[in-house]
Amino acid sequence: MQSKIRGKQTIAFESPPVVLSSATVVGPMEGAGPLASKFHTVLTDTLDGEKSWERTESKMLKDAIKSTITQANLMEADINFLLAGDLLNQITASNYAARDLPISFLGLYGACSNMALSLFLGSVLIDGGFAERVVAAASSHHDTAERQYRFPTEQGVQRPLTAQWTVTGAGATLLSRQGTGVKITYATPGKVIDLGVSDPNNMGAAMAPAVADTIIRHFQDLGSTPADYDLIISGDLGQIGLNITKDLVSQGGYQLNNYTDCGILVYDDTQDVHSGGSGCGCSAVVINAHILRELQAKRLKKVLFIGSGALLSPTLTQQGESIPSIGHAVVLEAPL
Amino acid sequence: MMKDQKKQGQEQQPEYPLPIQGIVDLIGPEKPKGQKVSPGQPKLTPQEYKQISDKYLTKPTVLKNCLWAFGVGGIICAIGQIIQNTLIYYGVNAATASGTTTIIMVFLGAFLTGLGIYDDIGKRAGAGSIVPITGFSNSMVAPAMEFKREGFVFGIGAKLFVIAGPVLVYGICASVLIGVIRYFLK
């Protein structure tokens, strides 16, 4: 059998998995943003009738997963594996969502890179012949993240301008070995890189080197250039992280002129989020609601999506540790 | 050969050819000993990276923040003063009026926190709404609201002082210290 590895760390899928359907559930603030019309479900409040935000996040994730399955006219029994992750301690949003689903479950943690990570691993399972259909999903909730990582939500604190706003959103993608639709053709899982940024209010700067490294490595492994892609999009670097990544990648010899970030697309300037959106849900909802549709409609042909994750915890941050980060890339291609 | 180079602590070439001599390729040989860099991240030191990333930082709006803090902090204090003067006007003695004003201000801070307004004020005012006693009230009520879902013991009970605790600890310590100094200076 021919090896599927290209260069150092890029995988070329021999029979690229196909995206059969995708679904998103977002909170009211995301529903008031520039992508409002693209989301599948918009909640009217952040609790949505549940008694805690943690339960709401789980429910959002579960609803997104169920919705992808229904959209593809399939049953839960048709899905071999569910791969999901979130930001909460012990990835409880995913665990509790999976509790109510009769699907073999693989819980993932790659911080905010979970959507790219689950797409990548799901594709590996399918291309490797280990699964027929998998659902890849990720979620985050602004209020669950705030209370875990920062302050109580009603605390009157001033956020620095480098800070980002955790997206309330869940996204799920149904990948299949057979069918027609957007294909996942390559993946470049990244390395953990830490260049000493220890400010949890500046995660864009913490994650930028990891994303830049994965982007450059992807180009080097495949001998491709930014011009080979219609769009290069990172997960949740925000405006600051995006600018740094552009700089680093250009110092690596590649000019990124067709590059943007999910954290920039998900909110507009009037929403006062400072550097942009963040969280697993950020890339999960932008990719599933927007980018996959653009690919399906063939307005975009080939997209390089790099999920970015800051692998920090409040404990380690308080102990003065810097923030290790990671970037996982997958290539999404429009159907022929 | 690689090992020798490492020992000498000289500039090293990665094991595979780099198409571009950029700084970004963070993968490669380890740093020479003595430099404080995590393994596997050689070409760009944290110091060098900081220089790059600092270029793109959004500058904090210090003047605007100060004006907001000054304005809002001033308004909160003025409200307190109005309450106190009103109480004295209606014949409450000065000591009681001072205590009553504090109670009313704490109530106002808690009330606005409960209505979800105080965090919106704090977002703009910063220290202007944290330093007055309404801010202290906010820092107690916000965790109480937040953690009531974890129950009365391990939720509210344990988390009530999560923000205010340090203020109390160091505030009380400082006041004891100053009291002792004052005693000896007298």
Across the interface, which of A208, A209, A253 has its CB nearest the CB of B22? A253
CA separation for the pair A170, A43 (Å, rounded): 11
Q: With 50 as the cut, is the pLDDT of residue A9 above it?
A: yes
pLDDT the model gives residue A215: 93
Express each pLDDT in A107-125 by its tens digit.
Answer: 999 999 999 999 999 999 9
Q: Do A155 and B142 touch (CB under 8 A)?
A: yes
Predicted local distance difference test score (pLDDT) of residue A155? 86
Distance CA A117, CA A309 (A): 10
Top pLDDT among A2 and A166 is at A166
pLDDT of A110: 94
The strand pair at A41-42 and A18-26 is best described as parallel
Q: Does B11 touch chain A (CB under 8 A)?
A: no
pLDDT digits (tens, 9 = 90+) for B41-85: 446 778 888 888 899 988 888 999 999 999 999 999 999 999 999
- The yes-or-no verdict on residue B29 having pLDDT over 80 is no
Instruction: Report the mean per-residue pLDDT for chain A.
Output: 94
Nearest to B26 among A153, A213, A240 (CB): A213
The verdict on B17 touching A (C-beta cutoff 8 Å) is no
What are B73-117's pLDDT values in tens digits? 999 999 999 999 999 999 999 999 999 999 999 999 999 999 999
d(CA B161, CA B140): 6
Q: Is the pLDDT reported for residue B153 higher than 70?
A: yes
Q: Which tens digit of pLDDT belongs to each residue from A67-104?
A: 999 999 999 999 999 999 999 999 999 999 999 999 99
pLDDT of residue B27: 39
Selected residues 56-115 of chain B with any CB under 8 Å from a CB in chain A: 56-61, 65, 113-114
Q: Which helix (H) or strand (E) holds A21?
A: strand A18-26
Average confidence (pLDDT) over B130-158: 92
One-letter amino acid identity for B114? G
Q: What is the mean pLDDT of residues A148-171?
A: 89
- Residue A21 CB coordination number (10 Å): 23
**Residues in B touching A212 (Cβ below 8 Å):** 24
Interchain CB contact of B6 with A (< 8 Å): no
Contact A105, A81 (CB under 8 A): yes
Asked whether the predicted pLDDT for residue B38 surpasses 70, the reply is no
Q: Cβ contacts (< 8 Å) between B70 and chain A: which residues?
A: none
- Residue B21, pLDDT > 80, answer no
In angstroms, the CA A258 to CA A250 distance is: 13
What residues contact A314, with CB distance under 8 A and at least 6 apart? A148, A149, A200
Q: Taking 50 as the threshold, does the pLDDT of residue A300 lie above it?
A: yes
pLDDT at position B43: 65
How high is the pLDDT of residue B14?
A: 44
